[in-house]
Structure formats: structure tokens, C-alpha cells
Structure 1
Amino acid sequence: MFFLVLLAMVAGFLGLRLYGVLGKRTGHEQPLPRTAEERPAPISVSRTVDAIPEVREPANRNIDPRAEAGLRQIVAGEAGFDVPRFLEGAQAAYRMTLEAFWKGDESALSDLAVPDVAQAFIDAIEARTTAGHVLDNRLVRIEKAMIVDASLSGRDARITMRFDADIAAVTRDAEGVMVAGSMTDAVETHDVWTFARTLKSSDPNWKLADTDEA
């Protein structure tokens, strides 16, 4: 995975102790760091999903048919896994991770992502701090959150989400002067995040293992 840091153009907060789960940016946002190797954002799920064999409304609108076989394997591997709750948790984790990155909350990022992904974020934060830049970004809305892939290898589960969102992105200098972006014009973003977890482990949290563009 590689990470870009457009210090003059950028795609802040955290809250909740996680449940889950970054992509394509087409405006004044700072591309988020990426990782070449995919791995495990915390999403905690419990309760059994009644029927993943044929995911019914409303869940099927948020699940790509290609992901259903993998989800069935995960449900079979851990009876407490609940798909609707995972979807809710993934959206919460998406917001928390973005806000932690924008805010520069390294501790939160370490809790939300696997070590190499967290380090990629931290390196990007340090680079923009060195440049004297501060992000003043806001996640306006998540237009759509969809499970696009799921797999199970042994007890290692992975679920990939696509997030279509609108982000208001602004970069300021150390004096608070706007360097780039706009708080009035939201930018469409299309992120693909992969979360991972070892099933039946004592840790119920899913962690962010990879980020990419849609």
C-alpha cells in the first residue's frame, strides 16, 4: 500500500469504541494513506443473521451479490455475526477514522486500524504537521455504504466496504488561514475499505486492514 499526502489539498473527531472500517477523492481533499498488503477497523457485531443464503430486504440493497457466499461462510464460522449491525458499525468506524485522521488523533487510529495501516496514517499526519498544515474537514453525509466482498480463510475473516460520501475539505496554515478547499462545496468521495478479524477470538472488534479508491 502506498500513501499520498497532498499537503495543500485535503479530504476531524472520533467518538464510540468501534465497530468497523477509506477511496477515490476528486476535489480538495488529502488522499488518505494506503497499504500494499491488506489486513485487519474495529466493528463489533453480535446476534445471528437469520438468512444470509438469500439476503433479504433491507440488507440486500447494501450487499453486492458477489459478497454473499463469503458472508455465509462468516456467519457459519461465528454464529453471533450480524450483517445489519456490521453495516451500521462500519459506517460509524468510517466516520471515526476519518475524523481521527483529520484531527491528528494517533491513539485513536492505533485502536481503529492494524499496525501498518495506523502507521501510514500517522506518517501522513506528521508530514502535514511538518508542513504547518491543519485539516478542517467535515463528513457531510454517507450517501451509500455497501459490502462489496467478503471472505474467510481459516478463522481470518475479511469484509470489504464501499463508501460513497460527501466531504467538505479545507486545509489551513498554522495561523488558521485557508490554503485550499471549501467548507461550502462538498466533494464526492468513493472509498473502498477492508476490515478484518479473527473469528471466535476474545477481541470482538474488526480493524481497518486496507484502504483504496473505488
Structure 2
Amino acid sequence: MVMDFSFSHFPFDLVLFGLVAAFLALRLRSILGTRVGVEPAPPPSAVPRPGPVIEGRAEPPATLTDYDVPAPETRVGQVLAAIAQQERDFVPAQFLKGVEAAFRQIVLAFAAGDVAMLRERLTANAFSAFEAAIRSREQSGEIQKAEVRAIASLAIVDAAIEERDGATHARIDVRIVSDQISLTSDKDGHPVAGTDAVTEFSDLWTFERPLGVAISGAAWRLAASRSA
């Protein structure tokens, strides 16, 4: 079987962030010009900053993305093996391939204001925050430009199996290093956030899904992200 990254249905048991939508919208608007995700209320000093600007790189590098999977004997490797025991089609490298595609889709969907696509790729709480930030941006007349020029590496850095609301859920944290152009301009075309130069970003995205063959349409969805 091929691992499901189609995102065709919402999982019913979702991670709770404990934040009101208005705060999330304000927080996202302040950072999503340069970084996409739902950040669980860090202090002001922890606001993510973009990495170094990469001068002179006009085209994506002709290199393959590096997939880093923990060794089987490690704690995280053992959790991944436990996930595979419950989901026979789960293969860590294939999971990362799906994450790579989802990362590009989510970044571009947020910039384009494509709430329909985001709704199918995010958990309900994450989607609410993204949608609020998009509506706020539209009301201000701001325009987001985003290009994912390259994804240098994806690494599984943590994983867990959790019992919530009578169901079993898997959670996997992935560190994503990418080269992006991310620029937000006001209604007059003046830059208000980000840059039109290629910049390196390092993010930690958390994906979740319910486990069990009896759950129809279960799929991995973005639940949270922060600067890595």
C-alpha cells in the first residue's frame, strides 16, 4: 500500500493549542511574512528570524533533498517502528517524501490565500489560525509572495504515539531546511515583511494522524510549527 498523503478527510481528534483565534491571527500575521506555521506562544525574544540571505542564487540547486531517518536502535527509531506495526504502509523515507510535497503546497497555499487546500492539509486548530491570518492580510490589502526554491534536508527529530479521546494518534516532528523567497507587500507595493532575496529557513513542523485500519481516510496533517 502507498502511504496516504492525500489529505482527503479531517481526523476527528485534534491537537489543542489553548490559544484564542484572535491571538493566533495576530501572531501569525507578524511572522508568516517570513515563516509559515502555528507557533505555540513563545516569548517575544523567541520570534523566529530568517537565516542568511543567499546571494546570487537565481535557480534551485540541482541537488537531491537529504532525508534523515533515525536509526532503528534509537528511541525515535523504535517509535517509528511501533507506528509501522500499526500502519503497515508506513515507511519513514516515504513519509518524508510526503512531507516535502506537503511543505511546498502549504507554503504556497498560504501565500495565495488558498484556504480550500489548507483546510485539507492542516488540523482544525492550525487551519483556524492560518485562515485568520489570511483574512487579516486581505483586509489590509497586503500581498504575499512565496517561492520555495529548494528543500535542502528533512530530518525526523522526534516521534510519539499518544492515546487521546479513546483513540491512538501518531505524532512526528520534522526539521525542514529550505531556501525560500518570502515577501509581504502593502497595497501600494511597499515591502512590509520578508525579502525578495533567496533566504535559508529552518523550521520544525509537527504532523499528526490517528492510527488504526478502522479509521477511514486517516492522513498526516500539519498540527504545529516553529523555528528550528
| TM-score, normalised relative to structure 1 | 0.71
* Corresponding position of 1:18: none
In the alignment, which of 154, 177, 181 is matched to residue 168 of structure 1? Answer: 181
Conserved 8 A contact 2:173-2:206: yes
Q: CA deviation at 1:132?
A: 1.3
Q: Which runs of 5+ in 2 are unaligned?
A: 1-16, 42-65
Distance 1:72 1:61 in 2: 17
Deviates more, 1:185-194 or 1:173-182: 173-182
Identity across matched positions, percent: 30
| Matched AA of 1:110 | R
User: RMSD of the alignment, in Å?
Assistant: 2.3
C-alpha contact 1:35 1:116 (8 A) present in aligned 2: no
Output aligned runs, 1:32-181, within 5 Å: 32-35=37-40, 62-64=68-70, 65-154=74-163, 155-181=168-194
Q: Deviations over 1:134-155 (max 9, x none)?
A: 1011111111111111111252
Q: Which amino acid aligns with 2:39?
A: R
Q: Secondary structure at the match of 1:136?
A: strand
1:211 aligns with 2:225: yes
1:69 Cα shift? 1.5
The answer on 1:189 being equivalent to 2:189 is no
Q: Report if the CA contact (8 A) 1:34-1:117 is conserved.
A: no
Distance 1:187 1:103, change over 3 A: same
Aligned in 2, Cα 1:121/1:6: closer, same or farther, shift over 3 Å?
closer
Q: Deviations over 1:25-73 (max 9, x none)?
A: xxxx25543357xxxxxxxxxxxxxxxxxxxxxxx96124442111011
Structure 1 stretch displaced more, 89-98 or 149-158 = 149-158
Aligned positions, number: 172
Closer, same or farther in 2 for the Cα pair 1:6/1:106, shift >3 Å? Answer: closer
Q: In the aligned structure 1, how far is the partner of 2:88 from the partner of 2:198?
A: 40
Give the letter for the 1:98 counterpart. V
Name structure 1 gaps, 5 residues minimum: 12-28, 37-59
Q: Structure 1 160/177 Cα, relative in aligned 2: closer, same or farther at 3 Å?
A: same
8 Å CA contact retained: 1:33, 1:124: no
